[in-house]
Structure 1
Amino acid sequence: MPRDIQIITEPQLRKIIALDRVLVDVVERAFSALAEGHVVMPPVLSMDLPMVHGEVDVKTAYIPGFDGFAIKVSPGFFNNPKLGLPSLNGLMVLLSAKTGLVEAVYLDNGYLTELRTAAAGAVAARHLAPSTVDTAGVVGTGIQARLQMQAAFLERPFRRGLVWGRDTDKADACAKDLTAALGVPFSATTSVADLVARAQFVVTTTPSREPLITADMLHPGLHITAMGSDQAGKNEIAPRVLAAIDAYACDSQSQCAALGELRAAIDAGAWADHKAIELGEIVLGKKAGREQPNDVTLCDLTGTGAQDTAIACHVRMAFPDAGQSIPISTGTS
C-alpha cells in the first residue's frame, strides 16, 4: 500500500521553527513525561572516536501519549572546520508510535538538536534560576553558547551578559553577536572565576575534560546549568561543587551518572550520600529545586531521547505540510 513520508531539510526547518517559549513548553513536557515514569528510553549509544577527533551519539525514546517516537543520529567531527565543513551533523527519523512505520525524516544537520538543547536550558532557568537575574554568563563561544543565552533571556530577562572562551577573539565575537541578538550589553572576560563572581546565572557549554568551575567560585544565589558534559570523560564542573550546592538537578539521573557531571562526582567520591533530583520532578511539583533566594543550584543536562521525540513530534504536528512528501510502497521482508 503506498504512503507518504515527510522529508524536511535544514534550510526548510530554519524557516518554520525557532527557539521560542512554545518550544520551551514542548521540551518541558518531555521532562514531565520522564518524571512520570512511563517513558521507554534506552541508554545513549555513544561512540568516542579520538583517532578522528570525533564522536557519535544515537538517542531515542518512546513517550506514551505521543503519536510518534524519534531516533536521532548526532555525529560531531571536530576537525571538520579545517576542511571547511561544520563540526556537527545528523538527522532525526520519526516513526509512528502505533505502527512503527517511518513517517518523517528531518535532515536537520543537528539544527533540531541545537533547538531542543537550548529549550532544555530554558526549562532549567524557568524552574531553578533566581527570580531576578541582573547578569548572566556563558562559558563557551559556540552556537550553543549563543542559544543558551537566548534561551535564558526568554525566562529571566537580564540586564547584561558575560562570555568566557579560551580564544579571546571568539569570545569577543560571541559577545557582539549576543549584544545584537538580545539588545543587552555583553562583554568578554578573560577569567571564568570573574564571570561566575559577577553573574547570578551561568551556563557552561564546552567539551572540556578538565573542570572549569570550582567550589571556591560559588556564591549565594548562583545558578549553574552545565550542558557540555554529555560523554564519559567530559567534565566542566569540579566534583566538590555538587557536594557544596543546595540543590542538584539533572535531566536523567541514570544518564548523568554515566555521562554527565554527576559521573565525575561519583568517580571522585563526592556523591556518596546525595540523591539527584530530576528536572521533570521539579516541573511536576514532586520535588523542590530552589527553595530560598540565596540557594546555590546546578542543573546537569546531557540531552535525552525524550527531548528528541518531543521536538520531532512537534514539527510533525505543527507543520504537517512542510517540506515534501515522498510516496513509497510498504513492502514485506
Structure 2
Amino acid sequence: MPDISILTEADLRALVKLDLEAVDVVESAFRALASGEVIMPPILSMDIPAANGEVDVKTAYIPGFDGFAIKVSPGFFDNPKLGLPSLNGLMILFSAKTGLVEALLLDNGYLTDVRTAAAGAVAARHLAPESVTTAGVIGTGVQARLQIEAAHLVRPFERVLVWGRDAGNAKKCAADLAESLGIEARVETDPARLVGESQLVVTTTPSRAPVIRADWLHSGLHITAMGSDQPGKVEIDPAVFGRVDAYVPDRLSQCRTQGELRAAIEAGQVEVGTVFPELGEVIAGQAQGRKFASDITFADLTGTGAQDTAIATHAVALAVTAGAGSRIAS
C-alpha cells in the first residue's frame, strides 16, 4: 500500500497562495463543469442548531484529474466566545484510479478560503465591467478581506468601501485591506451608498435577510454573492432578479436549493424551472454573461466540490515539488 502524504495548515499556507495561479486553477474547475462530464453529487449539509453550527461535505470527480477530493467543512459560529475559530475542516485526496487515500490535507478551512476567494475572482474576471475604480464589500470577516484581495488581482481598482453591522470590525477590515493592497479603503456607513459608488460589490455575510436591495442597483454594476451556502440564508433582495441583465450561478441545481436563486423562487420572483447559464458555461464561451458595459450582472456562488478537487490537487502537486509535508504508512 502506498504511503499517505500529510499536509498541515502551516504546510499549506506556505505552499498555496491566493494568486493568479490559484484563480486559474479554480477557473479550470468551472470550465470542466461546463463539459457535462464532471461527477458532482449534491452537497451533504447538516445544521446543528443546538451548537449554532453547520457541516457541509463536498466532492467531485473531474475527468483527467489523477485524484478527487472529499472536503468536510464545519462552521460553529459560537466558537469565538470560546477563543476558537468559527470555521475549520479538512480535505482528503483519493486516487481516481484505485480509490486509495493519497493525501490528508489538515487545512482547517484554509484551502476552502482560498478557493472561495478565487471563485470570486473568476466571477469578476468574466462578469465585472472591464474598468473598475471602486469596489465594495458587505461583510467584515476573513472572506470579506480575501474576496477583495482576489478581485483586485483581476480588476485592479483604486478604492474599496467596507460596510459591516459592527463599526469596529468594519474599520479593522478597511485598515487591513488598505495595508494589504496599498489602496484607499474606508468604511461606508450606508450600504446603499456603497453599492451606488461601486462598480463591483461582493457580499460575504451569513445573513438571513437581504443586505442589498433592488432599488440600489445601477448601470454597469456587478454583484458577487457568496454567503448563501445554506437553505435559509439570503443576502440579495429577490426583486434583484427582475433588474439584472445576467444572473450566473456557479451550479444551477445547488443555487435552486441553497443560493440566492432559492430565495427568489420562494418569493415568486423566478419560476422554478427557469434555466440560467452557469459560470463554467460563460468561461467556456458556451453562454454570454456581460454583453455591454452598462449591463448589471450578478454571480451566485454556493461553492462546488469541483473547486475543492481542483485546489486540493493543486496543493498536493505543489507539495510534491517542494518536498513538503510528512508521510505515513497506510
- Normalised to the residue count of structure 1, the TM-score between the two structures is 0.97
Larger deviation: 106-115 or 42-51?
42-51
Counterpart residue number, 1:118: 117
Counterpart Cα distance in 2 of 1:54 and 1:268: 26
Counterpart Cα distance in 1 of 2:7 and 2:328: 11
Which ranges of 4 or more aligned residues in structure 1 deviate by more than 4 Å?
none
Match of 2:2, SS state, is: strand
Counterpart Cα distance in 2 of 1:250 and 1:100: 31
Counterpart Cα distance in 1 of 2:160 and 2:222: 14
Matched, 1:306 2:306: yes
Letter in 2 for 1:306: A
Alignment of 1:59-98 (within 5 A): 59-98=58-97
Q: Tell me, yes or no, if the aligned pair for 2:61 and 2:309 is still in contact at 8 Å.
A: yes
Percent identity reads 64
- Offset from partner CA, 1:202-232 (integer Å, 9 cap, x none): 0000000001111100000000000000000
Q: How far apart are residue 303 of structure 1 and its match?
A: 0.3
Alignment of 1:214-253 (within 5 A): 214-253=213-252
Match of 1:6, SS state, is: strand
Counterpart residue number, 1:256: 255
Counterpart Cα distance in 2 of 1:16 and 1:308: 16
Counterpart Cα distance in 1 of 2:122 and 2:48: 31
Letter in 2 for 1:158: F
Letter in 2 for 1:25: D
Counterpart residue number, 2:328: 326
Q: How far apart are residue 318 of structure 1 and its match?
A: 2.4
Match of 2:63, SS state, is: coil
Match of 1:72, SS state, is: strand
Q: How far apart are residue 275 of structure 1 and its match?
A: 2.8
Q: How far apart are residue 172 of structure 1 and its match?
A: 0.2
Counterpart Cα distance in 1 of 2:72 and 2:8: 15
Letter in 1 for 2:299: C
Match of 1:229, SS state, is: coil
Counterpart Cα distance in 1 of 2:245 and 2:278: 15
Q: Tell me, yes or no, if the aligned pair for 2:115 and 2:311 is still in contact at 8 Å.
A: yes
Letter in 2 for 1:291: K
Counterpart residue number, 2:277: 277
Q: How far apart are residue 181 of structure 1 and its match?
A: 0.2
Counterpart Cα distance in 1 of 2:77 and 2:274: 35
Which stretches in structure 1 are left out of the alignment for 5+ residues?
A: 329-333
- Offset from partner CA, 1:133-189 (integer Å, 9 cap, x none): 010000000000000000000000001000000000000000000000000010001
Match of 1:92, SS state, is: strand
Matched, 1:10 2:9: yes
Alignment of 1:25-104 (within 5 A): 25-104=24-103
Letter in 1 for 2:275: K
Q: How far apart are residue 49 of structure 1 and its match?
A: 1.6
Letter in 1 for 2:296: V
Matched, 1:190 2:189: yes
Letter in 1 for 2:113: E
Q: Tell me, yes or no, if the aligned pair for 2:15 and 2:318 is still in contact at 8 Å.
A: no
Q: Tell me, yes or no, if the aligned pair for 2:161 and 2:186 is still in contact at 8 Å.
A: yes
Letter in 2 for 1:102: V
Match of 1:212, SS state, is: strand
Counterpart residue number, 1:331: none
Which stretches in structure 2 are left out of the alignment for 5+ residues?
A: none
Counterpart residue number, 2:20: 21
Counterpart residue number, 1:202: 201
Counterpart Cα distance in 2 of 1:192 and 1:276: 28
Match of 2:232, SS state, is: coil
Match of 1:319, SS state, is: helix
Counterpart Cα distance in 2 of 1:22 and 1:89: 24
Counterpart Cα distance in 2 of 1:246 and 1:279: 15
Counterpart Cα distance in 1 of 2:190 and 2:6: 45
Counterpart Cα distance in 1 of 2:242 and 2:146: 29
Counterpart Cα distance in 2 of 1:21 and 1:262: 29
Q: How far apart are residue 274 of structure 1 and its match?
A: 4.4
Q: How many residues align?
A: 327
